[in-house]
Amino acid sequence: MDFKRKDILGLQDLSAEEIELILDTAEPMKEILGRELKKVPTLRGHSVVTLFYEPSTRTRTSFELAAKYLGADTASIAVATSSVQKGESLRDTAKTIEMMGIDVIIIRHAAAGAPHLLSRYVKARVINAGDGAHEHPTQALLDMFTIREKKGRLSGLKVAILGDIAHSRVARSNIWGLTKMGAEVRVIGPPTLMPPDIHKMGARVFYRWEDGLKDVDVINVLRIQLERQQKGLFPSIREYTRLYGLDEEKLRCAKPDVLVLHPGPVNRGIEISPEVQDGPHAVINEQVKNGVAVRMALLYLLMGRGEEDVLTA
Ligand code: CP
């Protein structure tokens, strides 16, 4: 199957076949990451820019490394020290970058829909690295890659997403992706952090961990967005941790071989206890490594085969 998309804007738009192709393509990319010399010339002559209006450690760095490992040139726009501070619009910033010969723009923005808007303004390919509370497709793809790698499949698994569902783009992309791939998705959190229509996306809604975590194969723990605490959406951090923080007692409710994921950054000891974060069920560090492989796969699929094809070399 050929990948015919210009952009990667969200998992809502992608078919199960396209998602499978991305995950399959990430496998040889991960093999490259295990080599002593990680660089291949597949995307030599192509160029990638990261344009992040919000902070990031994992997503931005892994995209930059993914592009470099495939031989592409990279540039990074630090919005805090760019002409955005002088009032330049997103459209003008993007057009300026494009005129420098960029092939792919990877954007993170606080406004939902910003990557979609950008994709209409520029001929360059656009990858959504997180837009508001809307989608974070590359995070969900690396989560699915990690689950599939460990469990051998996605179809038929019970996957719980635990925490602040309302403000989470990671939750939305995971729900779109996992349901398309045949998993049962449960969302667990306090009513104040649960969007009213979330069941329409195909997720089962639970407010009590005792019900939601029962016999699940995977738990994806979300970062509690401490900035929301100002808005009184839960009584206190301590209360949140008691009711929804993943600890060893709650973990016992799931299947004995449950996998624990977290997209990072982690509020250690708040949404997940240190014993679980550092324990045998957690695959949080592997998610980071798989993030590079999945982003290499996306750049490869979007920019096409180069003169030396990593999949046939
Ligand atoms: N998971 C994630 O998006 O992390 P960063 O904010 O560090 O990119």
Whether residue 137 has its Cβ less than 6 Å from ligand 1 = no
Please give the angle made by the CA atoms of 32, 37 and 42, to the nearest 5 degrees: 55
The CA 170 to ligand 1 mean position distance, Å, reads 10
CB count within 10 Å of CB 306 equals 18
Calpha distance 186→146 (Å, rounded): 18
Of ligand 1's atoms, which has the minimum distance to the CA of residue 60? 8
- The answer for 215, left when phi > 0, alpha when psi is -120 to 50, beta otherwise, is left
Phi and psi dihedrals of 274, rounded to 5?
-60, -35
The answer to whether the Cα torsion of 226, 233, 207, 154 is positive or negative is negative
Q: Which residue among 53, 57, 63, 172 has the greatest number of ligand 1 atoms within 8 angstroms of its CB, and so is best to mutate? A: 57
Average pLDDT, the chain: 94
The CA 139 to ligand 1 mean position distance, Å, reads 8
Phi and psi dihedrals of 202, rounded to 5?
105, 5
Rounded to a whole number of angstroms, the CA Rg of the chain reads 19
Calpha distance 23→113 (Å, rounded): 25
Closest Cα to atom 4, ligand 1: which residue? 58
Whether residue 58 has its Cβ less than 6 Å from ligand 1 = yes
Residues 261-273: what's their mean pLDDT? 97
Q: Using one digit for the tens of pLDDT, what is the confidence trace for 274-289?
A: 999 999 999 999 999 9
Give the chain as a 3 state SS string: CCCCCCCECCCCCCCHHHHHHHHHHHHHHHHHHCCCCCCCCCCCCCEEEEEECCCCCHHHHHHHHHHHHCCCEEEEEEHHHCHHHHCCCHHHHHHHHHHCCCCEEEEEECCCCHHHHHHHHCCCEEEEEEECCCECHHHHHHHHHHHHHHHCCCCCCEEEEECCCCCCHHHHHHHHHHHHCCCEEEEECCHHHCCCCHHHHCCEEECCHHHHCCCCCEEEECCCCHHHHHHCCCCCHHHHHHHHCECHHHHCCCCCCCEEECCCCCCECCCECHHHHCCCCECHHHHHHHHHHHHHHHHHHHHCCCCCCCCCC
Whether residue 59 has its Cβ less than 6 Å from ligand 1 = yes
Whether residue 139 has its Cβ less than 6 Å from ligand 1 = yes
Q: Using one digit for the tens of pLDDT, what is the confidence trace for 32-67?
A: 999 999 999 999 999 999 999 999 999 999 999 999
* Beta pairing, strands 158-162 & 204-206: unpaired
Confidence of residue 82 (pLDDT cuts 50, 70, 90): confident
Report the predicted TM-score, pTM, of the whole model to 2 decimal places: 0.95
Beta-carbon contacts of 36 under 8 Å, excluding residues fewer than 6 positions away, are none
Name beta bridge partners: 219: 160, 260
- Residues annotated as catalytic are 58-59, 86, 108, 136
Whether residue 128 has its Cβ less than 6 Å from ligand 1 = no
Whether residue 47 has its Cβ less than 6 Å from ligand 1 = no
Whole-angstrom CA distances from 221 to 58, 124, 148 are 17, 34, 17
Q: Using one digit for the tens of pLDDT, what is the confidence trace for 1-31?
A: 789 999 999 999 999 999 999 999 999 999 9
Closest Cα to atom 5, ligand 1: which residue? 56
Q: Using one digit for the tens of pLDDT, what is the confidence trace for 295-304?
A: 999 999 999 7
